[in-house]
Every structure is written in C-alpha cells, then in structure tokens.
Structure 1
Amino acid sequence: MEAEGAKWTSTEKGADGFFHRSPFNFFRSQIQKKKRSAEKGGCEQYQGSDHEESKEESGKGSRGHKMNDSCLETQMVEQIFPAPDSMLCPQRVQNFLGKLGKQPSSKVLDLNNCALSTTDIMELVAIIHLLPGLEEIDLSWNDLIGGTLKSLTLPFKCLQELKVLRLNNCRLTAMDLSFLGEALEVIPHLETLDLSWNTNIGGKLFLLIQKIPKDHKLKTLKVMDCSLTSEDGESLAQQLYKIHNLEVLDLSINRKIGYSLESIAQELKHVSGLKVLNLNRCGLKLDGFKCLASALQHLLELRELDLSCNKEIGGGFKYLAAHLAELRNLEVLNLHQCCITEEDMTVLTHVIPLLSSLQDLDLSLNKSIGKSSDHLLSRLRFLPKLKSVLLSNCSLKHDSFASLADAALHLPELEILDLSWNKCVGGNLKLILKALNLGAEIKVLRLSSCSLVDEDLGGLGLVIQAGHLAQLQELDLSYNNQISDQGWTMFYQDIVGLEQLSELDVSRRPSSRGNCGEWLGKLLAALLKLPQFTELGLQGWVLSEVQQKQLEHFNRDNERNVRFDVWYGA
C-alpha cells in the first residue's frame, strides 16, 4: 500500500519535456482506495446503503455484475467530498474564495488570473461539486491548470447548469483536450468554450473536436492564438455539422490554419446561424477567401466579420462583392491591413453602402485607400448607424478627407473616429470640425501623427468650449511635434469642458524628445477639474526636476489616481 501510494507523490516527466508535480496526490490516492473497495463491493455501495446491504451487493458483484467507470468516478467524488447540503459546505466555499480575494457566488466562479497554486487547484476540485448551480467558470491565466483537467472535470458531472467555461492561457496539454472532450458529454447546456492562448494544443485539436456530441448546444468556440495547424482546421471542418447551433467562431491569430480555410468555408453551411466569424491573422489564402465569399450566402445572420491582417486576400474582393451585399444584419466589418487594392476599392465602394446595419468599419493600414477613397468615404453618409470609423494610416489625401468630413455630417451616432497617421489632416482639421460640432456622441477621437498645427488645436478648443464634445472620453494627440508651447497652453485651458475625459495622450515621437514647457502646470490644473480622468501620456517630453515632483505629488496631494506615462530623462 505504501509503495502504491508513493508513486503518486513522485515527480513525473510529461510529454512536453517539462517536469510536473501532480497537485492531486491526496485526491488520486483516495480515488485508488475507493476503486479497490468498489471492485469488491459493486457500484451500489456508494449510494448510502448500510454495511449489510453493501455485503449483499458485493455478493452480486462477485457473480459477474460490473460497474462502469463513469458511475464509479462520480460516486467516488461523492464519497471523498461532503454532500452539497452539508452545513460545512457554504463555509468551505467561502473560505476558499476568500483567501483568493473573491466573493462567493452560486452562479459564477471567476478565478481568472488568481495565480492558483497546486494546493488551490486540489481544493478547487473538492468544492466545485458543492456549487451545482454554477453557470460560468473562468480559470483563465492560471498556468498550473494545464495537466489537471482529468481531475477538474470529474465534478463537472454535477454542474448541469454550466453554460460558460473559459480556460484562456492555462498551458493546456493534449491530455487536457481529451478529458475536456469527454466532459462535454456530461455538460449538456454548455454554450461557450474559450481555449484561447493555449499554444500547446496546436496540432491536437482533434482530441477535443472529435468527442463533441452531435447536436451539442455549443454556441461560442474560441481558439485564438493556439498555434493551430492546417490539420486542426481540417478536423474542425469535418465536425462542424455536430455543432449547428454555433453563433461565434474565433480562429484568429492562427497563421497556419489558413491552408485549411477552404475546407472550413465549405462546411460553414452547417452553422447557418453564425453571428460572429473572426479570422484575424489566419493566413487566409486567395483560394480560401474565394470559398469563404461563396459561403457567405449561407450566413445571412452574420453580425461581425473580421478578415483583418490577411495580406494575401488583396485583389480578391471581387469574389466577395455579391454575397457580402446580402449580409443585411452585418454590424462589424474589419478589413484592417488586408492590402486592399484600387480595384478592391471600386468593389467596396458599391457594396459597403448597402450594409444598412453597419456600425463599425475598420479600413486602417490599407494605403491604397488614399488613392481612391473619396468615392467610398463620401458614400458613408448612407450608413447612419455607423458608430466607429477607423482610417488610421490610409494615406488619405485632401479630397478624400474632405469627402469624409461631408459624410460625417450625416452620421449622428458616430462615437469613434480614428484618423491617425494621415498627414493631410494637419492644417485641415477644420474640415471635419463642422461634423464634430454636431457630434455630441463622439467618445473617442484619435489624431496621432497627423501633422497638426496650432490652428488645428485652436479650432478643436472652440468646439470643446461650445459643448459639442461633452461625451468625449479618449483623445489622442500624440506625435504632433509641430504644435508650439503656446498652442498647447491655449488648448489645455479649453479641455476643462471635457468632463467625461478619462484618457489624453500628448506624447512626442521617441526619436524627437523635447523639453516640457510651462504648459504642464496649466494641464495639471485642468485635470483637477476632470473627475473621470485616469491616464495621461507624456512620453518623449523631458521634464525638469520641479515638473517631475509636480507629477509625483499630484495624486497624493489631490487624492486622485491618475497614471502618468512619462519618461524621466535629460
């Protein structure tokens, strides 16, 4: 007995080459003891029968009656840990969560980023079944979860209400995937499974996918940045028919999966209720893009389509045009850094204005847009529901910027506008200020590296004084080195009108550090009048000793909690 128990306490080398010490020595040794006892007495002895009944059932077992492993494991958990109605259970759960700084909840177990130790995980195994009403479990960003799912998923049999399971960045292993797949069979109502940032599961996704029961209720599957391979993509494609209730599929930041997206696209017809499809940085090839375009005809419920950072699809938007126009429910379209060509722009100019439900449009980092964007940007006026327009680093020209400014007059719900890294804005900000005069909904305005001058800040200050940016929360004016100290001083006197402002960035380029002017005192005085303010970017400015002390004492003297992003240097 001692020798057998000792093998659970030894350090074992895992398949990944790392040495792991199991956190479940006690738990597993107890399981072994119960198993040996059960083999003598049969499954029934774990159902609360007395000693005599157990002996009788043991006799039945000796005549050939054998229990199945699932029944045995469930009942072993019930024997090792107290029943949920025990008087000690609430206190046990409260003590465990209390030491992790968490409040007990009967529906949500949030242990995200709690630095769980091996002891914590062992205790967690012991208390999960005491919370049978749990609807959500989040164990994300706890490295030691990896390699423990065999034990952690045992009590899942008791969680018949579980709908959400998040295991982001838990260093999951191939065996974890296998046990998790088996657990899906006993969690009938699970709707969300998030395994993102587990890079060790690349090439092994089939261990999970192939075990998903047919007609499972899963609605959200996220495997972002998991080093998925083309084989993983093929496995997913083959099993999509099992999860026809799927509404969210996130495969982003898995570059190798692009080779199998043709197969995945062909099977998307099985998930016609899909609402979110995220293929950001998936290495999407032109053939896969063509198949995906065709698959859109089956995805008429789609609300969000993210194709960003797939550089090889540039020049292929002609395949997308007809079916994209049919997505009348589409609210989010992300084409950030897709190497869009002038030919693509012609196609998008005709299609995008037809997306009547569109709220968020991201065309950033597509430099060809600046050559022909005036027609598309002018037609944004036909999308009155637009809340976010991102055009960072699009090489906009004066005419295209003017077209956008005219269209913005017809966007009453606009909340986010990003024009960063478009040099044409400098000296011409007044073109869009007329729209901002009407833009009471604007919450985020980004004008980083736009070659702004004093005149631009003066005009923006007048808009603020008039109260037309009362909802502004984030303002980015960084990397605009042409603005003089006087320009900054005048502007900081105006920002007191931004009562909702929480973030302001006025950093300089790292390569062009400059001395911080007397305007810093004006800025700090203004911040005292902004109750929501939490973050100020001052990178690139060289502060004097007096100015450094002003920042150091600001929070203490004024009972504030403002984060100053600043570089102290000569």
Structure 2
Amino acid sequence: MERAYYYFPVGLLLATSLLAVGTADIINDKSALVAFKNHIVLDPHLIVAKNWSVSYSVCDWIGVTCDSSCQRVVALNISNMGFAGTIPPQLGNLSFLVSVDMSNNNFHGHLPEGMSHLRRLSFMALGNNNLTGEIPSWLGVLNRLQYLSLRINSFVGHLPANICDNLPNLKKLDLSVNRLSGQILSDLSNCSGLKSLDLSLNQFNGYLPKAVGNLKMLKELHLGDNNLEGTIPPQLGNLSFLVSLDMSNNNFHGHLPEGMSHLRRLSFMALSNNNLTGEIPSWLGFLERLQYLSLTENNFFGDLLTNICDNLPNLKELDLSWNQLSGQILSGLSNCSGLKSLDLSVNQFNGYIPKAVGNLKMLEELDLGDNKLEGYFLGFLFFIQFHIYILSLYNYLNFLCCNILIDLWPFKHLFQIKEI
C-alpha cells in the first residue's frame, strides 16, 4: 500500500503533464490556423466568416482534419473555396500536418520558408493559384513528400539544383504552366521513385539530360511547350514503365532513337511541332498498347511503312500531318481497325486512296487534304458514312468524279465536310 501510495502522485503528475503538453500542442495548431485565417482577404462562400470561429475547436473547422487520438491537425484541404490572400510562415507550425491542398484558389506571394518545418508532409497541392517567386530550395528537405503540385502559378527562375537530394519517396512532381527557365538538371534523376513528371508549358531550354533514363519507375513524362533542343537521348528507352510521353512544341531535331522501341507500355506519344527528321521508324509498329500517336509538324520523309498497323489494334488517333511523307497511302492502314481519327494532310502522298480505308469502321475524322492524290474517291466512304463527321479531301490534283454532289448525298448527316 505504501508503494502504491508513493507512486500515485507521480502517475497523476505524469498524466497531468501529458494533458498539458497535448493542450499546448493543439493551442499551437489553433494559433497557426488563426494566423492563416487572418491572411485570407477574400472569402466568397463565407466559410471563414461563419465556420472558422475561434470559439470552436479547429478540428471542427471546414477543411481541417485532426488525428482522433492526439487531436493534432493532420490535413488541411481548402481547395476550390475561392480564397484569396497570402500564406503566412506560421503555417509551418502545424508540425503534424501530413496533407495540404490549397489548389484552385487565388493565393499569391511567395511560399514562406516557415513551411520547411512541415517534415511530416507527404502531400502538397498548391496548383492553380497566383503564387510567385522561385521554387524554394527548402522543398528538398521534406523527405516524406510523395506528391508535389505547383502547377498553374507564376513561379520563375531555375529549378533548385538539390531539389531531389532528399526526396526518395516523391512519386509525382508537377511544375507545369509556370515561367520556369534554365536547363532541366540531371539531378532530377535523384528522385528515383518518380512515377509522374510534368514540366510542360514553361520556358526550359537546353538539352534533355541523359540521366532522365535513370527514372526507371516513370509512367508519365510531360515536357511539352518549352524551348528544349538537341536530339532525343536513347536512354529514354530505359523508361520501360512509361505510359504517356509528351515532348511536343519544342526544338528537338534528329531521328527518333531506336531505344524508344523498348517503350512497350506506351499508350500516348506526342512529339508534334519539333524538327525531327528521318523516315517513320518501323519499331513504332511494335508499340502495341499505343492509342495516340502524333508526329505532326516535323520533317519526316519517305513512304509509310507497310506494316505500321500490323500490331497496333488499340490505336485511336494517328496524326502524321505537316511532314514530307510521300508515296501511296497503303491499304495496310486498315489494320488499325480501331482508328477514330486519321490525319495525313499537308504531305506529298500520291496515287489512289485504297478501298481498304473503308474498313476503318470506327473512323470519325479523316483529313487527307493538301496532298497529290488522284482517282475516284467516294466508294470507300459508304462503308464509314455513319461514323465520320469531319472530312477533308482537298488535293492539288482533282479527283476523277463528275457527279460529286449526287455522290455526297448519303453524307448529308456529316457535321462538317471541309475543303472538297
């Protein structure tokens, strides 16, 4: 009894101390959120005015989630609330925060360095705001981060050289639609667990580093609408899990490297509006999961491959327009039986349109304009007339057809018949 009597005050003191610490912690969280509340200058839905009251527990505030056991703030989701204002450094005092989503609002200003204290953070979505300044280097110390989106803001400057040094868990990095410039650094390959990388619609220049081939887990690589140049590194073929590749609207030149033939999981490939050259490579015909292929606005030349459609049963859209391709349009194209859109316009194709094109029963868009095609052309259309809604057949040489208006009568349901 004496021993129990001796220890009881100690246990009570310990419980009281823990309660005091817990109370102090939630008070710190409340103080941080009150500071954040005071930086919100626009609240169109009156969420802050009516719900974020200091009289309530912050755990009851809209957009705030607390851990049930320790009553600490673990998530802040205020996306799509129309808020405007700045992000205060006190937000970094939410030391248990795991997830923050402020996307689709009107926050402006720089990201405060105080947020570098959010060491438990695994999810950060700040996309579609008006944030500015450079991408802060302290992001590289948030070593539990798995998802980072700063897309559709006004960030400027270069990528921090060390951004991936301590981010082994990062799975998605989206910095698209900003004003970032400079080169894409090889250090990005240190984010070895990346599955999605989107740097599109910026002002990056220089070469695509060979080290991009070290991102072996990558499924999405989107670098379109920048000022990248040079040749496409063959190491890109190391990305065997890649599903989506967009490098359109850059200044890449040279041939498509054969190493890309290893991208057997690829379903989306957009390389349009570059300076790529050479013949259409035969290995494209082995990317059997491909659904979208655009090589428009390049300098590809030569004939279409006879077997390009032999192993592409899933191809839905094929755009080879605005190149220097020549020869005949081969009947082998009909093996791409799932095609919904085919654009071969503005090339140098000649000869007849093969009747086998009529086997493309799923076709909705067909553009063969600005070539040198000839012959009687309407027969194949009767096979696809109930699906096609955009048709362009304008060519330098007239088709041999004397009753064109009569022959087009079955196509009166077309939404648009262009340039006939």
TM-score relative to the length of structure 1 = 0.51
Q: What is the aligned counterpart of 1:407 among 308, 325, 331?
A: 308
- Runs of 5+ consecutive residues of structure 2 not aligned to the other structure: 1-15, 35-41, 53-60, 69-73, 395-404
- Corresponding position of 1:128: 63
Q: Distance in 2 between matches of 1:275 and 1:308?
A: 17
Provide the C-alpha distance between the structure 1 equivalents of 2:181 and 2:314, rounded to a whole number of angstroms.
37
Q: Match for 1:446: what amino acid?
A: D
Q: Does 1:332 align with 2:244?
A: yes
Q: For 1:521 and 1:184, how far apart are their aligned partners in 2? A: 67
Per-residue deviation, 1:272: 0.9
Equivalent pair of 1:448/1:476 in contact (CA under 8 Å): no
- 1:278 maps to 198
Query: CA RMSD of the aligned region, Å?
Result: 4.9
- Is 2:361 aligned against 1:434? no
Tell me by how many angstroms 1:493 deviates.
4.9
Asked if residue 300 in structure 1 is aligned to residue 216 in structure 2, the reply is yes
Per-residue deviation, residues 414-469 of structure 1 (Å, max 9, x unmatched): 233112334747x833x1x4232x33333443345568999649653x224xxxx3
Kept in 1: contact 2:244–2:269 (CA 8 A): yes
Give the alignment of 1:10-89 within 5 angstroms.
71-74=27-30
Q: Which amino acid aligns with 1:223?
A: L
Aligned-residue identity in percent: 21
Distance 1:76 1:189 in 2: 16
Judged with a 3 Å threshold, the aligned counterparts in structure 2 of structure 1 residues 452 and 117 are, in CA distance, closer, same or farther, namely: farther
CA 180–439 in structure 1, closer or farther in 2 if over 3 Å, else same: farther
- In structure 2, the CA distance between the partners of 1:252 and 1:76, relative to structure 1 (3 Å rule), is closer
- What letter is aligned with 1:359? S
The answer to whether the 8 Å contact 2:385/2:411 transfers is no
CA distance in 2: counterparts of 1:419 and 1:282, whole angstroms = 25
In the alignment, what sits opposite 2:103? 167
* Contiguous gaps of at least 5 residues in structure 1: 1-56, 79-114, 510-516, 528-535, 542-570
Cα distance in 2, alignment partners of residues 387 and 310 from structure 1 = 24
Report if the CA contact (8 A) 1:449-1:477 is conserved: no
Query: Partner of 2:307: helix, strand, or coil?
Result: helix
Q: CA deviation at 1:147?
A: 0.7
- Name the SS of the counterpart of 1:221 in structure 2: strand
Distance 1:230 1:452 in 2: 45
CA distance in 1, matches of 2:151, 2:31: 36
Conserved 8 A contact 2:65-2:75:
no
Alpha-carbon separation, structure 1, partners of 2:356 and 2:237 = 39
3-state SS of paired residue (1:228): strand
Partner residue in 1 for 2:298: 394
Count of residues in Structure 1 that have an aligned counterpart in Structure 2: 370
* Partners of 2:353 and 2:260 in 1: CA distance: 31
Equivalents in 2 of 1:497, 1:266: separation in Å? 53
Shift of 1:311: 3.9
Q: Provide the rounded CA distance (Å) in 1 between the counterparts of 2:176 and 2:347.
A: 30
Aligned residue type for 1:145: F
Distance 2:382 2:76 in 1: 48
CA contact (8 A) 2:321 2:344 kept: yes
Q: Confirm or deny: 8 A CA contact 2:227 2:251 kept in the other structure.
A: yes
AA aligned to 2:332 is K
Counterpart CA distance in 2 for 1:306 and 1:77 is 36
Distance 1:449 1:117, change over 3 A: farther
Which whole-Å deviations, capped at 9, do the CAs of 1:78-113 have from their partners, x for residues lacking one? 9xxxxxxxxxxxxxxxxxxxxxxxxxxxxxxxxxxx
Following TM superposition, by how much is the alpha carbon of 1:221 offset from its aligned partner in structure 2, in angstroms? 1.9
Counterpart residue number, 1:26 = none
Give the TM-score normalised by structure 2: 0.67
Q: Which has the higher helix share?
A: 1
CA distance in 1 between partners of 2:139 and 2:251 (Å): 39
Contact kept, 8 Å, 1:201 with 1:227, in 2: the verdict is yes
Q: Which whole-Å CA distance do the structure 1 matches of 2:132 and 2:366 have between them?
A: 38
In structure 1, C-alpha distance between the alignment counterparts of 2:87 and 2:346, rounded to whole Å: 48
> How far is the alpha carbon of 1:273 from its aligned partner?
0.8
Deviation at 1:362, TM superposition (A): 2.6
Counterpart pick for 2:138 among 179, 194, 210: 210
Aligned CA distance change for structure 1 residues 230 and 363 (closer, same or farther; 3 Å) = same
Local SS of the residue matching 2:252 = coil
Q: Distance in 2 between matches of 1:338 and 1:258?
A: 14
Match of 2:268 in 1: 360
Q: By percentage of residues, which structure has more strand? A: 2
Match of 2:13 in 1: none
Match of 1:477 in 2: 367
Q: Give, in whole Å, the separation in 1 of the partners of 2:356 and 2:407.
A: 18
